[in-house]
Structure 1
Amino acid sequence: MKYDVIDTQISPEGRLDVLSKAEVNKLLDTSQGGLYSIFRNCSLAALNCGSPIDSGKELLERYQGFDISIIQRERGIKLEVKGAPTDAFVDGKMIKGIQEHLFAVLRDVIFVSDEITDNPKFDAGTSEGITDSVFHILRNANVLRPLSNPHLVVCWGGHSISNAEYNYTKEVGYQLGLRGLDICTGCGPGAMKGPMKGATIGHAKQRITGGRYLGLSEPGIIAAESPNPIVNDLVILPDIEKRLEAFVRTGHGIVVFPGGAGTAEEILYLLGILMHPDNAQLPFPLIFTGPASAADYFNQIDDFVGITLGPEAQRRYKIIIDDPALVSQEMQAGIKEVREYRKSKGDAYYFNWLLRIDHEFQKPFVPTHVNMRNLHLQRDQPPHLLAANLRRAFSGVVAGNVKDQGIRAIEQYGLFEIHGDASIMEPMDALLAAFVAQHRMKLPGTVYKPCYRIVK
């Protein structure tokens, strides 16, 4: 099937506008060590805003003729785009927000390559080195705001949610916006777009003109969760682990809406961190919320957490059903505690240095068939480390569902096998089955084909 496309040239506006010859050569290098592939794929994802596609493989195959290159001019650079999706344009002109996103992709791909990867300054073998690299990526993107009080709320949730759940995320965002709180999400559709959309109305009513809508993504997921155009600060982290760390370092509280395997991964990541003994006294408001129809969903999540990680993990969050105003009030009160705590400890408001993140949560996990089969999902380990391995298991399911590399691996080698104690595997199997039954593993109207097999 042929899809309508547009060719164009665009100039940067307030973003990266000059490049060295070496950087240009890197970006156009199609060899294994070059940056062209990652730059092209992330750029196509940014241009695919608003599309219902939630498969990285499908997106790349649909627009095989897409190409993006850099033109060096006397006044600076331009991007030449060929075969771009028409949804990125209005009357033949690229939407401003999408144009900004393209240059954010360019900025982050260049910075990570030049300043982070293989730089001995950032020791990937230590927790401190990885945290420092996350800080520098965020600082380079100019998203750390040192002269403001804590007010950034991270919102997690699925891209495949019902209309009732999507409208609820907008209402929560609206209530947060009325209270002057800014929004950070994974930048895609569904529960990542709704809170931002609601907050824009709340900010407008309060005459807040500098509302922040921060979107954090990574190359593996961006094609399946194309950035929505409300995002006014987009950052591409190099992998899912650094993306997750960026959320918890920059955010002052987190609201979790209904979602699927990706949302479960995020929940396990955060709970595992908060359960570390060094974080026992650290305030971090965490609220699970949704409309009345989502009550059973959060009961299932709560049961799974209780069975696998125990009551200590359950004490780290509140569940609020069908009350957007209360969610916002509780979050505002929790952020006030965060402010007082960091003030007393001399910690930055804009980056949570005091939060202890075990190296097990930071090491990049590649969900190959061997790595998925060898995950340590037994109870002979501290709960926070079990959470780290459960997080990896759900990360693999996400990869097999929507990421290009993961989908191709499943097609070539068959289903991922996930092994572990029966007391862990049975509730995990039940939770994933519930996600499938509720259409949380794929967009509504499509048939979900499992990418995994639970082995008890």
Structure 2
Amino acid sequence: MEPVPTKSATFSARISPVAGLDVLSRHEVARLRDAGAGGLHELLRRCALAVLTQGSGSDDARALLDRYPDFDIQILQQDRGVKLELNNAPAEAFVDGHLIHGVNELLFAVVRDIVYVSNQIEAGAFDLESSPGITHAVFEILRNARVLRPNTDPNLVVCWGGHSIGRNEYLYTKKVGYELGLRAYDICTGCGPGAMKGPMKGATIAHAKQRRHSNRYIGITEPGIIAAESPNPIVNNLVIMPDIEKRLEAFVRIGHAIIVFPGGVGTAEEILYLLGILLNPENALLPFPLVFTGPAESAAYFEQIDRFLRLSLGDDVARHYSIVVDDPAEVARQVRKGIERVRLFRLDNQDAFFFNWALHIEREFQVPFQPTHAAMRALNLHRDQPSHRLAADLRRAFSGIVAGNVKEEGMRAIEQHGPFEIHGDRDIMQALDALLASFVVQQRMKLPGSRYVPCYRVLTD
């Protein structure tokens, strides 16, 4: 690899894989080079740029592309295998003219997932019209990415939370990650900064103290969000799922416990997704440890989340989670006890440790939601339905707001047609409006320093 400086802030280079992907077919290379409507080049370019700007402070996908308008990536098929040609790549990805080793790994993971998903969907390998077929697709993508580890006791903790959090909240996530690492737990997050980076960073120190090797720091993302939440440098297993629904299913299928730190709309979407599944009567007996936690100053945040969940879904929802404030060790102890229940349940039911097949997920939680203005207006946010069905549409409402905040297509739709309109029962809408307003005040919608313009309007019936 002999990179040549092009500008003060960019480099050009040809790189070989340090692990993983070795060869591609001519057809795959042609698709990755194709910049037309049916090609994969623009998708590859956007995902690769996010990887090359690890730790970016912006959560605006378009701003990232504007910073590096001349960036390009090409696949080179050579006698000895695949190379990537980077043109005008961010200089921050290089050290003394050489691409950072971890960035190299993640770049080739991007190519791997884009090619695999495209090939399998085109070949009809996934029956995306049925619920079992969608779960099969999630399993196959994870298996191809080699994140499913057999012959290992349950030890994977999924951590959710905001990428735009305060310094004290971030430091708290590190402390929780440290306590988890001391207990030999691996970490899985959405791969970005903030509450997604902190637990991994804390766990690395604890793993080193315990002289633990082969640690997993799994980051699961999707094309619509990766530019706004570029992978943090600790991620050593990156998986790009096709859409947010498959990303969420991947989390709950491979995780043995979930910890939720303070966050914004995306975190609320994740909470509603999981609770909607756990509220389904078919999952009534299935153990699934879920802990909400943060430092002392975040207590009011979780009180508000708890009030909103109880008001909209009923008090019974609270039996599915615990709230721990300012006690990282207690969080880890609760996770340890919960994962032991998971281990015994899986043994009794002959279910795999590496993939939660027993979890029943209805198709309405799996089908990609396209947050158009019409779709957002049509959401059923009323109590005259089972609570898990209401949770499904509340999750879609938050998903639409995420799209309007940070996804390129959603931002463009808001610019063209104005804010999304959300209708529902008066008290649910008032509580939802108050929750969203608190996210804005606490700067959980955008990174500090930017002015948030709401992409939604809450209306009562």
Matched, 1:259 2:263: yes
Correspondence 1:451 to 2:442:
no
Question: Is the contact between residue 172 and residue 328 of structure 1 (CA under 8 Å) also seen in structure 2?
Answer: yes
The structural deviation recorded for 1:274 is: 0.4
| Map of 1:220 onto structure 2 | 224
2:204 to 200, 204, 224: 200
- Superposition pairs of residues 226-375 of structure 1, within 5 angstroms: 226-375=230-379
* Per-residue CA distance 1:279-329 (angstroms, 9 max, x = gap): 000000000000000000000000000000111211100000000000001
Deviation at 1:118, TM superposition (A): 4.0
Query: Whole-Å Cα distance in 2 between the matches of residues 310 and 89 of structure 1?
Result: 52
Distance 1:454 1:401 in 2: 16
Partner of 1:302, secondary structure, is helix
Partner of 1:34: 39
Mapped partners of 2:372, 2:88: distance in 1: 32
Check the 8 A contact 2:18/2:101 in 1, yes or no. no
The alpha carbon displacement at 1:276 in A equals: 0.5
Whole-Å Cα distance in 2 between the matches of residues 34 and 312 of structure 1? Answer: 48
The letter for the 1-side match of 2:196 is M
Q: State whether residues 255 and 287 of structure 1, in contact with CA within 8 Å, keep that contact through their aligned partners in structure 2.
A: yes
The amino acid of 2:78's aligned partner reads R
Distance 2:292 2:95 in 1: 37
Q: Which moved more, 1:177-186 or 1:6-15?
A: 6-15
| RMSD between aligned residues | 1.0
The amino acid that maps onto 2:101 is K
Aligned counterpart, 2:55: 50
TM-score by length of 1: 0.98
Residue in 2 aligned with 1:72? 77
Q: 1:30 touches 1:37 (CA, 8 Å); kept in 2?
A: yes
SS of the counterpart of 1:183? Answer: strand
* Residue from 13, 23, 30 that aligns with 1:25: 30
* Larger deviation, residues 118-127 vs 258-267: 118-127
SS at match of 1:220: helix
Trace 1:150-189 onto structure 2 (pairs within 5 A): 150-189=154-193
Q: Identity of aligned pairs, percent?
A: 63
Structure 2 match to 1:107 = 112
Amino acid at match of 2:87: K
Which residue of 1 is the match for residue 382 of structure 2? Answer: 378
* TM-score of the aligned structures, taking structure 2 as reference length: 0.97
Using the TM superposition, give the Cα deviation of residue 120 of structure 1 relative to its aligned residue in structure 2, in angstroms. 3.4
**How far apart are 1:423 and its partner, in Å?**
2.1
Code of the aligned partner of 1:425 = M
The residue type paired with residue 434 of structure 1 is S
Per-residue deviation, 1:412: 1.6
Query: 1:255 Cα shift?
Result: 0.3
Q: Deviations over 1:43-96 (max 9, x none)?
A: 111111011011111112221111000111111111001111111111121111
Aligned amino acid, residue 202 of structure 2: G
Q: Specify the alignment match of 1:139 in structure 2.
A: 143
Describe the shift of the 1:251–1:8 C-alpha distance in structure 2 as closer, same or farther (beyond 3 A).
same
Aligned to 1:14: 19
From 68, 74, 99, the counterpart of 1:94: 99
- Alpha-carbon separation, structure 1, partners of 2:223 and 2:261: 23
Tell me the distance in 2 between the aligned counterparts of 1:60 and 1:415: 24
Structure 1 runs of 4+ with >6 Å offset: none
* Count of matched residue positions in the alignment of Structure 1 and Structure 2: 454
Give the Cα–Cα distance (whole angstroms) in 1 for the partners of residues 99 and 388 of structure 2: 46
1:420: how far off? 1.5
State the shift of 1:3 in Å.
Answer: 7.5
Structure 1 spans left out of the alignment, 5+ residues: none
Whole-Å separation in 2 of the counterparts to 1:253 and 1:228: 22
Are 1:9 and 1:79, in contact at CA under 8 Å, matched by a contact in 2? yes
Structure 1 equivalent of residue 134 of structure 2: 130
1:417 alignment counterpart: 421
Aligned to 2:90: 85
Q: Which residue in 2 is equivalent to 1:209?
A: 213
Alignment match, 1:427: 431
SS in structure 2 of the partner of residue 335 of structure 1: helix
Q: How far apart are the structure 1 equivalents of 2:430 and 2:129? A: 34
